[in-house]
Amino acid sequence: MQTEIYQPFDKFNFGNKTCFLSGKPLQSEEEKIQVFPAWLLAKYNLYDQPFKMLDENFPTYKDLKLPCSAEVNNLYLEPLEAEIKAAFEQGFDAVNQLDEWKLFIWAGKIMYGIIFNELQSAIRQQYAEGQGLNISQSLMHKFSSLHMMLQMLFLPIVFEDFKPYSFFLFKINPQTTEFNYRDEINSLTFSLRLKDFGFIFCLQDNGANAVYHQEILKKIAGQTLHPIQFEEFCGRIFYSAYLFNRLPEYNILPVQNKIYVEAMPLKGLSAKPLFDEWKPKVYGQVLENFWKPWGFLLLEIIKNPEQPMSFLVDKNSMFIKAEEIELAG
User: Of 157, 176, 203, which residue constitutes the final position of a domain?
Assistant: 157
- Looking at the 3D structure of the chain, how many domains does it have? 2
The verdict on 56 and 95 lying in the same domain is yes
Where does a domain end: 131, 157, 183?
157
Contact between residue 204 and residue 147 where contact means Cβ atoms under 8 Å apart? no
Q: Are residues 170 and 307 in the same domain?
A: yes
In terms of residues, how long is the chain?
Answer: 329
Judge if 28 and 49 occupy the same domain. yes
Same domain, 11 and 148: yes
**Does 166 share its domain with 311?**
yes
229, 228, 240: which is closest to 282 by C-alpha?
240
Output the DSSP codes for 170-232. EEEEEEEEEEEEEEETTTTEEEEEEEEEEEEEETTSTTHHHHHTHHHHHHHTT-EE-HHHHHH
Question: How buried is residue 74: exposed, middle or buried, by Cβ count under 10 Å (0-12/13-18/19+)?
Answer: exposed
Burial 230-245 (b: 16+ CB within 10 A, else e): bbbbbbbbbbbbbbbe
**Do 13 and 130 belong together in one domain?**
yes
CB 239 within 8 A of CB 286: yes
Same domain? 209 vs 316: yes
> Tens of pLDDT along the chain (329 residues)?
457 999 999 988 899 999 999 999 999 888 999 999 999 999 999 999 999 998 888 999 999 999 999 999 999 999 999 999 999 999 999 999 999 999 999 999 999 999 999 999 988 887 666 666 678 899 999 999 999 999 999 999 999 899 999 999 999 999 999 999 999 999 999 999 999 999 999 999 999 999 999 999 999 999 999 999 999 999 999 999 999 999 999 999 999 899 999 999 998 868 899 999 999 999 999 999 999 999 999 999 999 988 999 999 999 999 999 999 988 65
Q: Is the pTM of this model over 0.85?
A: yes
One domain for residues 3 and 146? yes
What is the per-residue pLDDT across 252-307, written as a single tens digit (0 to 9) for each?
999 989 999 999 999 886 889 999 999 999 999 999 999 999 999 999 999 998 89
144 and 177 fall within a common domain: no
Indicate the SS3 state at residue 95: helix
Domain range enclosing 23: 1-157
222 & 327 share domain: yes
Assess whether 205 and 257 both reside in one domain: yes
Task: Output the CA angle 134-139-282, nearest 5 degrees.
Answer: 110
